[in-house]
Amino acid sequence: LLMMVRVAEGLVDAGTRSLRWEDGRYLVDEWPADRVDASDPRILKITGDPWRPLALTSLSWLLPVELSPDGERVEAVHYERAIVPATGYQAFGVEDPRISRVGDEWVMTTCSVSPERLCTTLHRSRDGVDWMLEGIVLDHQNKDMLVFEGQSGGRYWAQTRPLGETWFAYPPGSEWRAGPAINLATSPDLLHWKPYDKPGLRPHAATVSTARMGGGTPPILTDRGWLTLWHGVEPGAEVGIYRTYWSILDRDDPSITVATEHDPLIEPAPHLTRHLDSLKYLDSVVFTTGIVDAGDHYLVASGEADLACRLTRIDRGRFA
């Protein structure tokens, strides 16, 4: 198994400083204290600007880690194949890898962050270890892109999650609420994507946990349809509570939801990172990004508390 680990490196006692990559060098930016809101430990909010810009308190890169087939042992750590910032649109780093097996190759979507844009980028690999950056495939504020593991109707499909400032309300009594949703896009070649006309997974008005939602694992084909795990966020404090949920989508038209469950599949487990309490700045987040068919169960990969990698075994019968 390959686990692509996001490493977020920050400064000790950073205060109002942030890291940035530029032309092969790593730089430190010092922000005036009276212009910064540092209430969220992950970001610096630059005040006094109508567009509310942000700086990050860490710079991210990706580390390939080989695991044993059962996920129990670390077999190799490939620092020499790390995926690091390489161009201007990655000035603040490379985040949130999602890997899909499509045909005879692996494809990985990542989030590239910079003052230029917050965008989705695509990497490809024949062996899952050596990756080639193909460039930007979704533009500003369209992230959490998950490529389906296979085609439907002769096209490649992906889930996307655009963000923005403006959301139009559903009518009173609707089962849906306005806000971020998981949309769909199709492509002939994995590089050029067209938004699908029908909506995908939308936030339910009756569930607090879908006040904010986004894609988790690349959809995989099962007997019932495409199984997809996604995150829902219950508002609270600065970050909220991130949990993992699941849905099954129609194999021919993934805009149709065959089954979904409003009870969480995976919840944050602070006891797993108790030994890291001195480093912890939140314990209400489990962020799921990978799934592998392991026979009678699925092996699911998540980030726990922004500090650790977590593997969870889910019985196949849960989705029957």
Q: What are phi and psi of 317, to 5 degrees?
A: -65, -20
Q: Are 162 and 136 members of one domain?
A: no
| Residue 42 maps to a domain | yes
Range from 160-164, 248-252, 280-284 carrying the lowest mean pLDDT: 280-284
Distance CA 83, CA 94 (A): 8
Distance CA 281, CA 119 (A): 26
Which helix (H) or strand (E) segment holds residue 135: the answer is: strand 132-138
Q: Enter the tokens of residue 36.
A: 């910064």
Q: Enter the tokens of residue 241.
A: 């509570």
Q: What is the mean pLDDT of the chain?
A: 95
* Residues written for the chain: 320
* Cβ neighbours, 10 Å, residue 51: 7
> In which band, very low, low, confident or very high, does the pLDDT at 155 lie, cut at 50, 70 and 90?
very high
Domain span at residue 196 reads 155-320
Q: Are 99 and 188 members of one domain?
A: no
| Residue 209 maps to a domain | yes
Q: Are 274 and 233 members of one domain?
A: yes
CA 165 to chain centre: 20
Tens digits of residue pLDDT in 269-284: 999 999 999 988 888 9
Q: Are 182 and 130 members of one domain?
A: no
Q: Are 211 and 307 members of one domain?
A: yes
Q: What are phi and psi of 44, to 5 degrees?
A: -110, 120
Distance CA 134, CA 311 (A): 29
| Residue 214 maps to a domain | yes
Number of domains within the chain: 2
Q: Enter the tokens of residue 35.
A: 């212009």
Burial of 237 (0-12, 13-18, 19+ CB in 10 A): exposed
| Domain stops at, among 73, 106, 140 | 140
**At residue 308, does pLDDT exceed 90?**
yes
Distance CA 163, CA 25 (A): 30
Q: Strand, helix or coil at 67?
A: strand
Q: What predicted TM-score, i.e. pTM, was given to this entire model?
A: 0.95
Q: Are 152 and 125 in contact (CB under 8 A)?
A: no
| Domain stops at, among 87, 111, 140 | 140
| Domain stops at, among 85, 114, 140 | 140
Q: Are 162 and 126 members of one domain?
A: no
Tens digits of residue pLDDT in 17-67: 999 999 999 999 999 999 999 988 889 999 999 999 999 999 999 999 999
Q: Are 167 and 280 members of one domain?
A: yes
The predicted pLDDT at position 13 comes to 85
Residues 210-230 have a mean pLDDT of: 96
> In which band, very low, low, confident or very high, does the pLDDT at 14 lie, cut at 50, 70 and 90?
confident
Q: Are 117 and 196 members of one domain?
A: no
Q: Are 182 and 244 members of one domain?
A: yes
Distance CA 149, CA 83 (A): 22
What SS3 string covers 235-300? CCCCCCEEEEEEEEECCCCCCCEEEEEEEEEECCCHHHHHHHHHHCCCCCEEEEEEEEECCCEEEE
Q: Are 181 and 306 members of one domain?
A: yes
Which helix (H) or strand (E) segment holds residue 310: the answer is: strand 308-315
Q: Are 56 and 197 members of one domain?
A: no
| Residue 71 maps to a domain | yes
